[in-house]
Structures are given as structure tokens and as C-alpha cells.
Amino acid sequence: MASETLLPSQKPQLKEYTIFTIPIIHKPFTLSALKYITFFLCGTANLWPWNCFLSASEFFQDAFSSNQTLSNGYSSTMMTVSTISSTVINIFLSQRQKNANYTRRLQIGNLTQVIIFTLMSLTSVFSTIHNDVGVILYFIFVMFCVVVSSFGVCLAQVGVLALVNVGGAIYANANVVGNAVAGVLPSISMIAAVLLNTTGKGSNEGDSGEIDQMAADKSRKV
């Protein structure tokens, strides 16, 4: 007896697993929603490092200000190093697909990003060193971080794209949305920081002006 082919609408639907019920709105938070959020965060994490290096150009240019060549060449050098290293690493990974553990690649890639940016946060104190040797060493360290970060991003991107290909189109959508958010948030945070800094300076200048005026009035009375 020939087996019948079921239409998509006739196929049995798997029951969605509910993790918990969201208070107030009383809507179920399902496993699919958790997966979507996870792939969204993975997509954000994949593009965030490069955007952070690029958005921090002004900071690094100031850090390398004692060496004008390094200061002026930071952005172009960073983009060149990132592009070349990413290309080489992706070519290498494309030749290592047999029996590849993509979940493991995603984990290693994200862990690499955490380690690199933790180190950069801890070593940002060296950005105040303005002697030639210190600036050159700090520049080399930053470029090394760019290379290792590119390695981590390549691993994570290959891993997440392989997983969303298996999981379904909705999770590919989550990954792309995460990429878009990563392209916008660093710029928004920088604009907010500049505006807050400008507001603080304006307030301080206003207070200073009031103090100077009070001192001038007091001297005239005397």
C-alpha cells in the first residue's frame, strides 16, 4: 500500500514547551522564544566587537597622540588587520567542516570575545602612557586584540549560521536582527556619552560663572 503524503497543514503539530508564564500579561514564555532571544544575542555579539573597535577610534587616537603616525593610522590599520585576519581565518575554517562541532565553535568564539574585551578593559590604564616605547607596545597589543577578536568572531559566526540553518528560518531572522542592533547601539551609546559629557560641562561652566559673578559683586561692595 502506497504511503500517503501529508500536506504541511495536515502534519501533526508538536506541542510548544512553556518555560513559565509572564506575570501581568499572562502569556506563556516558550522554548521557541528563548531560542529566538539566544540567537538574537549571538547575532549582536558577532558584530559588536568590530563596531566597538571602530567607535573607539577617537579614544585610541588620543591614547596614541604622542606618536602622530600611530594616532592618524589607527582606524585604517585596525580595519586592514581585521579584514585580512578575518579572511584568512574564514578560509581556514571553510577547509575544516568535516565532523565540525559548530556548537563548540560558537562557545569558543564567544568566550574569546569575553576574554579579549576584559583584557582591554583592564589594560585601558596604559592608554595614559605617553612615552614612545609605551605607545608602540600598546598599539601592538591593540592590534593583537583585533586579530584574536576576529578569530573569535569567525568561529562564532560559522557556528551560529550552521545552527540557525538547522533550527529554521525564524532563528536566521533573529541572528540578522541581532547584527542590525549591533551596528546601531555602539553609535547610540557614543552619542549619549557625548551629550551627557556636554551637559555636564555646561552645568559646571554655569556654576563657575555664577561663582565668578558673586565674587565680582562682593568685591564691588567692599
pLDDT of residue 222: 43
**Of 178, 62, 170, nearest in space to 110 by CA:** 178
Task: Express each pLDDT in 150-162 by its tens digit.
Answer: 999 999 998 998 8
Other CB atoms within 10 Å distance of the CB of residue 100: 13
Report d(CA 149, CA 114) in Å as an integer: 9
Q: What is the mean pLDDT of residues 105-123?
A: 90
Q: Which residue is associated with the grid cell 506541542?
A: 15
Q: Counting Cβ atoms within 10 Å, is residue 193 exposed (0-12), middle (13-18) or buried (19+)?
A: exposed
pLDDT of residue 213: 52
CA distances from 145 to 79, 142, 155, 159, 173 (A): 13, 5, 15, 21, 30
Cell (9 digits) for 4: 500517503
DSSP class of 128: G
Confirm if 169 and 163 have CB atoms less than 8 A apart. Answer: no
**Four-residue CA torsion sign, 91, 92, 96, 102:** negative
The SS3 of residue 98 is coil
pLDDT band at 2 (very low <50, low <70, confident <90, very high): very low
Q: Whole-structure pTM over 0.85, yes or no?
A: no
End-to-end CA distance of the chain: 113
pLDDT of residue 126: 67
CA distances from 118 to 27, 81, 112, 151 (A): 37, 20, 10, 16
Report d(CA 75, CA 56) in Å as an integer: 9
Q: What is the mean pLDDT of residues 179-205?
A: 75
